[in-house]
Structure 1
Amino acid sequence: MPEPSYLTSPRRRGPRNGVRAVAAVGVVLAIAAGGSYAAGLGPFARGDDGPDPAAMEQARAFLADWSAGRLPSAAGRTTRPGPAEEVLQSFTAGLDIEKPKLTAAKEAEEAEDGTLGVPFTARMPISGLGTWTYESRLPLREQENGDWKVDWRLSLVHPRLSDTEKFRLEREETTAPKVTDREGTSLNGGRYPSLAPLLGRLAGDAGGGPRGAVELVDRASGEAVRTEASFGEKPDPATDQPVRTTLDARWQAAAEQALAKADGKNAALVALHVDNGEVLALANTPSTGFNRAASGTYAPGSTWKIVTSSALLLKDAVKPDDVVDCPKYLTVGKEFHNVETSEHPGATFRKDFMESCNTAFISLRGKLDDAELGEVARTYFGVGQEWHVGIPTYDGSVPVPKDQTEKAASMIGQGRIQANPLIMASVTATAVSGEFHQPSVTAGNENGTRTEPLPREVVTQLRGLMRGTVTDGTARGLADLPGEVGAKTGTAEVSEDQDNNGWLVAHRGNVAVAVVVEEGVTGGGSAGPVVHSLLSAVPEDPA
């Protein structure tokens, strides 16, 4: 009589919570004794206190072969190689088991049927669901030639596998919760490619993960006898609703299109609400893989002068109209210079900010204590505190400089200062509103940040400096945009072998934007067109 099939045909239980019967495993086999046994001599009757080492070695070798997928080799260690290989293959592949881990116990015991039983633990990772763990027992029988073989039987694979019952894997056909923007517009990776890597995570956090079970079924009727293992949680119907984000579909689409102005270079953009930190758009190019916008670690370059200026203005160490000379070069352990070695003799601090004069800012390093820049960044801008945005983020670092050279570099956003577009958009929003708001992509996130508001006078001064950078400074490329746009450009050195990264941060109305273009050379030349494209495409603020 032919052997029965190992797999059953698929079943479905319904459109939403329907179940696809992926596989059923097991065979009907007549179990033979499989070789003779040395009568009167048990495996422990050898004058020692433990089982024959050769038997234990064979048990471990069988389990190792099964774990590694060497099923013909594993089957060859049994008393019935043909049926053994067929069942092992059907069990492992039919239940979508990937790289099983089978561990033999150190102890063994002699059974009434004359076999040596070696208990083992089976950890069976089922693809996309989880790990099914159970205990079983490996019987070994000594052959006439003195060799040991695994005495083949279905129950060694799993204690409940038999000629009347088998296993079946069932997966629920789940539909991940829909992710929408702030107005309920559906977001998908096809139209908004930068969001594709994030949508699965956002939906998964809302209970859209895979579900399934390993069931023991009756061979004759196909009915489930019991559930051996379950994976995933059943969704709560009350909460099985679309995941609403803070994103704005119009701004997101405009951000994706604006990054085309980066001329194929790696780039990232974030736009957020000034008054509450809600992220309106988050885009990366390339759109797949690493989320540069929120998890990148970059030197922010001269966009960091917003924080440096805040630190100086807070302690009245400088005023916008104070003269702070801007020479071509300044040596502090090493030679620092301005972009294109520009100079502005007799410039005011306002002019230094608008023209992004590195040497002027570095000359003011003595006005700040070594740790003061980091303290201001943390206390007023939340940089370096732990943010809970709703997606993975890097939240910035402003370490205390190791020496005067590193302190000089820190004044202009170099050295060991690290940020990304999410951080710098938030810095911009804080500077022009006076209050830090933890950025968010989803609602209801934990907020453990503790900050203080910037004094109103400092906010007024920062807004004036940023507006002047657009009307008469390095962000002149934004001057034709409607509205009172303020901005700060940045050029960040990376290494001697790479061109500088280009940065630009800007604000208009209730929106703050930050863009970085890797190897963009200058901020105005590379990031400027990206910001211009974005603000042109969406001329009005979101609701």
Structure 2
Amino acid sequence: MTHPFSAPDADFGHTATHRHRSRRRGLRVAIAVTVVTAVAAGGAYAAGLGPFERDDDGPDPAATAQARAFLADWAGGRLDSAGSRTTNPARAQEVLSNFTSGLDISKPELTPARATKGDDGTVRVAFTAKMPVTGLGTWTYRSHLPVREQKNGAWKVDWSLSLVHPHLSDTAKFRLEREDTTEPEITDRNGMSLTGDAHPSLQPVLNQFAGGGSGPRGAIRLVDRVTGEVEGTETTFGKKDEQPSDEAVATTLDATWQAAADKALAEKADGKNASLVALRVDNGEVLAMANSPATGFNRAVSGTYAPGSTWKIVTSSALLLKNAVAPDDVVDCPKYLTVGKEFHNVETSEFPGATFRQDFMESCNTAFISLRGKLGDTELGDVAREYFGVGQEWHVGIPTYDGSVPEPKDETEKAASMIGQGRIQANPLIMASVTATAASGRFHQPTIVPGGKDTTSTKPLPSSVVTQLRTMMRATVTDGTAHALADLPGDIGAKTGTAEVSEDEPNNGWLVARRGNVAVACVVEQGVTGGGSAGPILHDLLSAVPDDPS
């Protein structure tokens, strides 16, 4: 049975009085936030530069600039501004709003093509529209904008319904229909059912697993405005030939850990974007992955962040592997160190005469940077890949980003890479795995489904290096920057991280920790410090689940 997503009067050309969302069995679906790639018009185009460079007979650059600005405003949700660029501002704003909301479109991606000039002087700018329909997929089509010069010399988009979509008119509108589908049951490691209602952060993940069954299906229909009769189908979503599956999908997740992770983020992230991953040290099985906000982009496994000082676990491993430093060696920690640019410690702290162990405990940037000459330019990346699996292709069971440690371009970037900055990128899944590897000495590819393939190839860390890492991480909890976890029972080891984003934004806060057979990693965007922002989250998580999973 199919039923409309919205009421018949949600016609995308007249104001909708109400909307009715159909109730679905199974999982609520969510999609990742779609990145908007629409370029606002600027001085370069007004000057005749770029792909719309004007020739003697070509379109006026001001016309193409206006068209591009209209598309950028539409894509960015600035519908009042988009309307003001047309010959009918109020009507344009109304229709664009009803079109996107009525069809449950999140953030359009609108890409202009080359402009052409008609015999009557009208400039025509073709564009490709990619419209993400929540929970179903992307509707892609082509249209064009007519731009005309007004009496005052200004250029305006000549408003009509057909520029939104060629088939939208005074007599025809669109309707989104969703089909009820039976999703497969998804269970945790103990056979307990996992649902998006009980575990909000899992909604994107559960939807990906549901694709193994019948999956969400739907269509966008072109209908008569008066009768509601279907005149055509613009696009369909999902595969009609798939049959619902009654077989449950088993995962490595643990419902108890997942619930605690969701709760910790909800209560301690302070409304900031944040995510965490918990996994088993002995085999890499993912116990929980959570995000705040709970729906949308799964930054826990697909995010790309500078890991900041949590990366000093890998840097320390590289130094200890070649006996370039020992924990009791004195490695001074000044306030500042200049390597092409000035590097400093958090709150410009300093620790004269500090040992390398103390540098690790207090997360001293300048001390680690001063040791950059002990490593070759590719050595940090080699250690990350060969011992920690970072940058290899992981088969986790869902799409993931598996890290990048590129060779530094110069000495300044090499200095930054020593402290997890520069072009090094990771996410909580990667850093939880790094923590597990440091604690056990062996990399285990993270996985969220039992029995997945593993094409990685790594070698174990020497036991002496593992012992040194575990000792320094434990000292970071008892006497260092991870003191937020010191009151918890168990032999907990940890490392904090503060990662710079830009000069105008607060730093991201990181914390990784290991307790028994569980490794966890958390990042809080604009959290300022790891101990202050991620610390309370992991403290709540580990407090709520005192026992390791079997």
**How high is the TM-score relative to the length of structure 2?**
0.63
Corresponding position of 2:359: 352
Corresponding position of 1:106: none
Alignment check: 8 A CA contact 1:426 1:439 kept: yes
Task: Give 1:540 shift.
Answer: 0.7
Alignment check: 8 A CA contact 2:181 2:214 kept: no
> Greater Rg, structure 1 or structure 2?
1
Corresponding position of 1:281: 288
What SS is found at the alignment partner of 1:302? Answer: helix
Corresponding position of 1:458: 465
Corresponding position of 1:245: 251
Alignment check: 8 A CA contact 1:438 1:449 kept: yes
Q: Could you tell me which of 441, 445, 450 is aligned with 1:438?
A: 445
Corresponding position of 2:263: 257
1:396 equivalenced with 2:382 (yes/no): no
Corresponding position of 1:186: 193
Q: What are the residue-to-residue correspondences of 1:346-495 with 2, within 5 Å?
A: 346-495=353-502
Task: Give 1:447 shift.
Answer: 1.2
Corresponding position of 1:232: 240
Task: Give 1:232 shift.
Answer: 3.4
Corresponding position of 1:68: none
**How high is the TM-score relative to the length of structure 1?**
0.64
Alignment check: 8 A CA contact 2:188 2:254 kept: yes
Task: Give 1:184 shift.
Answer: 1.1
Offset from partner CA, 1:78-129 (integer Å, 9 cap, x none):
xxxxxxxxxxxxxxxxxxxxxxxxxxxxxxxxxxxxxxxxxxxxxxxxx979
Q: What are the residue-to-residue correspondences of 1:70-149 with 2, within 5 Å?
A: none
Instruction: Mark the CA change 1:363 to 1:184 in structure 2 (over 3 Å): closer, same or farther.
Output: same
Alignment check: 8 A CA contact 1:174 1:211 kept: no
Task: Give 1:211 shift.
Answer: 10
Instruction: Mark the CA change 1:485 to 1:236 in structure 2 (over 3 Å): closer, same or farther.
Output: same
Task: Give 1:205 shift.
Answer: 2.3
Task: Give 1:190 shift.
Answer: 1.1
Q: Distance in 1 between matches of 2:213 and 2:409?
A: 44
Instruction: Mark the CA change 1:341 to 1:447 in structure 2 (over 3 Å): closer, same or farther.
Output: same
1:309 equivalenced with 2:316 (yes/no): yes
Q: Distance in 1 between matches of 2:137 and 2:536?
A: 46
Task: Give 1:198 shift.
Answer: 1.5
Q: Distance in 2 between matches of 1:298 and 1:172?
A: 38
User: Residue type of the partner of 2:540?
Assistant: S
Alignment check: 8 A CA contact 2:182 2:214 kept: no
Q: What are the residue-to-residue correspondences of 1:527-542 with 2, within 5 Å?
A: 527-542=534-549
Task: Give 1:174 shift.
Answer: 3.7
User: Residue type of the partner of 2:535?
Assistant: G
Q: Distance in 1 between matches of 2:282 and 2:297?
A: 28
What SS is found at the alignment partner of 2:211? Answer: helix
Instruction: Mark the CA change 1:231 to 1:315 in structure 2 (over 3 Å): closer, same or farther.
Output: closer
Offset from partner CA, 1:216-236 (integer Å, 9 cap, x none):
xxxxxxxxxxxxxx9534549
Offset from partner CA, 1:397-455 (integer Å, 9 cap, x none):
00000000000000000000000000000000000000111101112222111111111
User: Residue type of the partner of 1:243?
Assistant: V
Instruction: Mark the CA change 1:529 to 1:211 in structure 2 (over 3 Å): closer, same or farther.
Output: closer
Corresponding position of 1:325: 332
Q: Distance in 2 between matches of 1:416 and 1:284?
A: 24
Structure 1: gaps spanning 5 or more residues: 1-15, 17-126, 132-169, 213-229
Alignment check: 8 A CA contact 2:312 2:418 kept: yes
Instruction: Mark the CA change 1:173 to 1:129 in structure 2 (over 3 Å): closer, same or farther.
Output: farther
Q: Distance in 2 between matches of 1:249 and 1:450?
A: 31
User: Residue type of the partner of 1:232?
Assistant: K
Q: Distance in 1 between matches of 2:411 and 2:389?
A: 25
User: Residue type of the partner of 2:250?
Assistant: R
Q: Distance in 1 between matches of 2:268 and 2:196?
A: 21
Q: Could you tell me which of 514, 517, 522 is aligned with 1:507?
A: 514
CA RMSD in angstroms comes to 2.3
What SS is found at the alignment partner of 2:401? Answer: coil
Instruction: Mark the CA change 1:532 to 1:236 in structure 2 (over 3 Å): closer, same or farther.
Output: closer
Task: Give 1:210 shift.
Answer: 4.8
Q: Distance in 1 between matches of 2:312 and 2:209?
A: 34
Instruction: Mark the CA change 1:130 to 1:398 in structure 2 (over 3 Å): closer, same or farther.
Output: closer
Alignment check: 8 A CA contact 2:337 2:344 kept: yes
Q: Which aligned segments of 4 or more residues in structure 1 are displaced greater than 6 angstroms?
A: 127-131
How many residues were matched structurally?
362
What SS is found at the alignment partner of 1:246? Answer: coil
